[in-house]
Copies of this chain bind each other. A is one copy, B any other.
Amino acid sequence: MTLDLDDLDRALLRDLARDGTLSAGELGRRHGVSQPSAWRRVRRLETAGVLKGQRVVVNRTALGFGVTVFLGIKLATKGRVSLEDFERAVTAIPEVQVVQHVLGLFDYRLRVVARDIADFERVLRRRIMTLPGVGQVEANVLLSEETRPGPLG
C-alpha cells in the first residue's frame, strides 16, 4: 500500500502537474536520465494509481463565464435519502462544476460558474435555492486563484 517515491519521482510529478503534455524524453532531459528511464517511472506511477489520467484546463473566461462562486450549503433535513436526492439534483445543474460532500459547518460545497452576476442570481434563485432539502447557503465570489503542486510525499 505504501509506495515510496524518490526525489526524481517527485520531480517528475511536479513537472507533470504543471504540464501534462511533457514527453518522457523531455522529462528525462530535464533531470538527467534517459527517455526509457523517465518513461518507466511515469508508467510505474500510473500503474500504482498515483497518476489518474489527464485533464485539459478550460479557460472559462474565454467562453464568456466570467463569474465563479463558491457556495456552502447546509441541508435542512439530513436523512440518508435526502443526501442522495440532493446529490442527484445538484449534479443535474449545468452551472455546477464541482460538488464536494464535506464535514463541518456545511454539508456540501459547490463551485458554480456563471456568465455574470445577473446570470449567477438566476442560477441561485431558480436552481440552487430550489434544491431538495437546502437550508442555509453561504457564498464567496472568486477574485483570483492560484494552484500549487502540493505535497508529494
Contacts and interface: CB of A to CB of B under 8 A. Distances in A.
Contacts of A51: 56-59
Given A5-B63, A94-B150, A144 B56 contact: no
**Residue of A13, A56, A64 with most chain B CB atoms under a 10 A cut-off:** A56
Given A100-B140, A102-B143, 19 more contacts: A13-B58, A17-B55, A17-B56, A19-B53, A19-B55, A21-B54, A52-B57, A52-B58, A54-B54, A54-B55, A63-B153, A65-B151, A95-B151, A99-B145, A100-B143, A100-B146, A101-B144, A103-B141, A104-B140
Interface residues of A, number: 61
Contacts of A147: 97-98
Given A150-B94, A150-B113, A140 B20 contact: no
A3 B62 contact: yes
A131 interface: no
B59 A145 contact: no
Contacts of A113: 150-151
